[in-house]
Amino acid sequence: MGRSSELDGLTTLPELLNRSIETYADREALRQYDRKANLWKSVSYRELGDEVARWRHAWQASGFARGDRVAILMPNGVDTVCADQGALANGLVPVPLHAIDTPGACAFILIDSQATALVTNKVARWRQILNTGVDLPDLRLVIVTDPDPHEEIQSHEPVEIVTLEDWLAREAQTEELPAGPLEDDLAGIVYTSGTTGRPKGVMLTHKNIVSNVKATLECVSPRDGDIFLSFLPLSHTFERSAGYYLPLATGCTIVYNRSILLLAEDLKTVRPTVIISVPRVYERIYARVQNTLAKASAAVRYLFDWAVEVGWRDFCKKNRMPVERSGRAWLDGFVRGFLMRKVASTLLSQFGGRLRIAISGGAALNPKIARTFCGLGLPIIQGYGMTETSPIIAGNSVEFNQPDTVGKPFNNLDVRLGEGGEIQVRGPSVMKGYWRRPDDTATAFTKDGWLRTGDVGEFTPEGLLKIKGRIKEIIVTSTGEKVPPADLESAIETDPLFSQTLILGEGRPYISLIAVVDPAEWQRLTDSLGLEPTGEASLASPAAKSAALKRAKAAAANFPNYALPRAIVLTKDPWTIENGLLTPTLKLKRGPLNQRFKKEIEQLYATHG
């Protein structure tokens, strides 16, 4: 049974936090690493309430009025929460920016949202935006939370710049605070990732987000003492709702990851009980386990696979899924009793050893990875949603989890399949619309008021929702074959050789692949072929390309023959947010990638005109 009843009668985000401050005053609310002191520091719910109050007074003293937009450009942490909560409680509208987005993208959002304030952690971040040369007519204040000692704030800045310490001192200038927001007031303008074109600002109200938090609690219910490790950016609505507003509403503790590069270490140090993630993180951990197994004996690999097989059979029985037949199923009791715990620890130790709930969203989880994790006692709970629905639409649960689906739609939402099987949604968590884009808003909805998701789905006999693909993200080859690129990429990436993959073939005679190779696996492959691993020439070697292509086809063996890649380009350079090839939610930017590899793509298909 979920905990949503605890939140009955609460309709705004400040009300959720205030309830926890009153109920769990001395409990740890937030924890982050202090790099200057070289230690982890905690903030209780009472201390968080006091700090949010200081931000509220400072916002009021600075003359910000209800409805003003305030942009927040910072890594996850205590200051980010206080900036957000202080703004929300005064009726202001937070505009979260991705902490490592490009200056140009940040400038666009500042202009489009008409933000009047920017909260950022470094003066240099502001200067980078300023150096784009764009005019920011609405911006009148920049608050810097963690300035470097050598960063000077100059008197001739085009807008007022103030350090957080000096700005919070303004709290003494005001005693009265404005009334809190109403449920239909905006609680955020969240800009979509923009895999193509300019991002749009999704207007989410307090009612939108609070209703989604309550519905999520019916699906995944935190326990007292649960610790969430937060590593997805808070500009991502999935993390914002499920990994921030939800745990604070239920008295849990949020620990902020030091950096994504230190995630593996932080998982083992923090030992979280709950994580909110995208499939890419699970894929990396799966690849790490596979790398370990590759160095082990054939017997160890055999026992690992056997343990997964037994655990998966148990999982399928529990969750009313078809059970694999096996001539050795009669030995399941033996394997379960003597082997499972030891083998499972190989995987579970990667997460710190006490992970209870692992939630995955943002994209489909590869079936091979789901089978391994669920079989070894870590049932990843897949959900489905989009920024425009605050964001979760459907989800599996600990009690009933079928990984080839995204679970049942939330009880407070209506979900139907429209033309072409498109998933369409209506309900309290559906956005108010796109900021200053009435035409785009109208296009996003059907004539009878249902939100178009752009995803194609189907329902199982038990009422679970399956995602079959994107309406627009289907490759149609020149022979008329249809291939879902994201599913094929996910399958190929289960081979540890491939860190990142891009499937090509729209309007072409066959499917091709561009792949970023994993350094360790590339070393092993080139050693086996007698090639130089560090040389660029090896990437173009026919022997290496043939071996890599063979492995890609093996990983995607469940796809029809026409979907298997017939040509490949190998590269060592990762695709990142910083180089503009990934969105802030780690999705491929297919347009920029196609442009980046334009020459190589043309060469792949040159023989076919």
Q: 193 in helix, strand or coil?
A: coil
pTM above 0.75, yes or no: yes
- Is residue 101's pLDDT more than 70? yes
* Alpha carbons 434 and 431: distance in angstroms, whole number: 8
* Alpha carbons 473 and 489: distance in angstroms, whole number: 13
Dihedral pair phi/psi, residue 394, rounded to 5°: -145, 160
Per-residue pLDDT at 410: 97
- Is residue 161's pLDDT more than 70? yes
The more confident residue out of 583 and 143 is 143
Per-residue pLDDT at 195: 43
Per-residue pLDDT at 193: 59
Cα–Cα nearest to 410, from 275, 192, 205, 213: 213
Per-residue pLDDT at 607: 56
Task: Please report which confidence band the pLDDT of residue 2 belongs to, taking 50, 70 and 90 as the band edges.
Answer: low
Least confident among 40-54, 308-322, 476-490, 554-568: 476-490
- Is residue 150's pLDDT more than 90? no
- Is residue 513's pLDDT more than 50? yes
Dihedral pair phi/psi, residue 294, rounded to 5°: -60, -30
> How many CB atoms are closer than 10 A to CB 345?
13
Residues of the chain above pLDDT 90, percent: 75
604: which 2 tokens? 């792949």
114: which 2 tokens? 């008409």
- Is residue 157's pLDDT more than 80? no
Q: Are strands 414-417 and 422-426 parallel, antiparallel or unpaired?
A: antiparallel
Q: Give, for 383, the enclosing helix (H) or strand (E).
A: strand 380-385
Q: What is the mean pLDDT of residues 593-607?
A: 89
Q: What is the mean pLDDT of residues 440-447?
A: 96
Cα–Cα nearest to 72, from 18, 126, 134: 126
601: which 2 tokens? 């793509």
Per-residue pLDDT at 287: 84
Per-residue pLDDT at 428: 98
Alpha-carbon distances of 313 from 328, 346, 355, 376, 540, rounded to whole Å = 12, 19, 21, 11, 43
Task: Please report which confidence band the pLDDT of residue 557 belongs to, taking 50, 70 and 90 as the band edges.
Answer: confident
- Is residue 609's pLDDT more than 70? no
Contact at 8 Å (CB) between 466 and 460?
Answer: yes
Per-residue pLDDT at 608: 46
Least confident among 392-396, 447-451, 479-483: 479-483
The more confident residue out of 60 and 472 is 60
- Is residue 509's pLDDT more than 90? no
* Alpha carbons 104 and 56: distance in angstroms, whole number: 30
Per-residue pLDDT at 316: 97
Residues of the chain above pLDDT 70, percent: 97
* Alpha carbons 3 and 507: distance in angstroms, whole number: 50
Least confident among 143-147, 308-312, 578-582: 578-582
499: which 2 tokens? 């860190």
Complete domains list, the chain, with CATH = 12-181 (3.40.50.980), 182-470 (3.40.50.12780), 475-608 (3.30.300.30)
Contact at 8 Å (CB) between 585 and 278?
Answer: yes
Alpha helices in 154-230 (DSSP H): 164-168, 206-219
Contact at 8 Å (CB) between 132 and 104?
Answer: yes
Per-residue pLDDT at 496: 94
Q: What is the mean pLDDT of the chain?
A: 92
Q: Classify the phi-psi angles of 427: left when phi > 0, otherwise alpha if psi is within -120 to 50, otherwise beta.
A: left
* Alpha carbons 39 and 41: distance in angstroms, whole number: 6
Q: What is the mean pLDDT of residues 163-189?
A: 95
Least confident among 167-171, 378-382, 409-413, 467-471: 467-471
Partners of 201 in the β-ladder? 191
Q: What is the pLDDT of residues 112-129, one digit of tens each?
A: 999 999 999 999 999 999
CA 393 from centre of chain:
15
Least confident among 140-144, 354-358, 576-580: 576-580
- Is residue 352's pLDDT more than 90? yes
Contact at 8 Å (CB) between 149 and 167?
Answer: no
Least confident among 79-88, 244-253, 322-331, 443-452: 322-331
Q: What is the pLDDT of residues 192-203, one digit of tens each?
A: 855 445 689 999
Task: Please report which confidence band the pLDDT of residue 219 belongs to, taking 50, 70 and 90 as the band edges.
Answer: confident
Report the alpha-carbon angle 227-230-233, nearest 5: 160
* Alpha carbons 543 and 288: distance in angstroms, whole number: 25
The residue with tokens 């386990």 is 289
Per-residue pLDDT at 155: 64
DSSP 365: P
Per-residue pLDDT at 148: 85
Cα–Cα nearest to 364, from 256, 489, 459: 489
Q: 249 in helix, strand or coil?
A: helix
Q: What is the mean pLDDT of residues 53-80?
A: 97
Q: What is the pLDDT of residues 291-321, one digit of tens each?
A: 889 899 999 999 999 999 999 999 999 999 9
Per-residue pLDDT at 482: 74
* Alpha carbons 268 and 272: distance in angstroms, whole number: 8
Q: Is the dihedral of CA 144, 148, 149, 150 positive or negative?
A: negative
Per-residue pLDDT at 100: 78
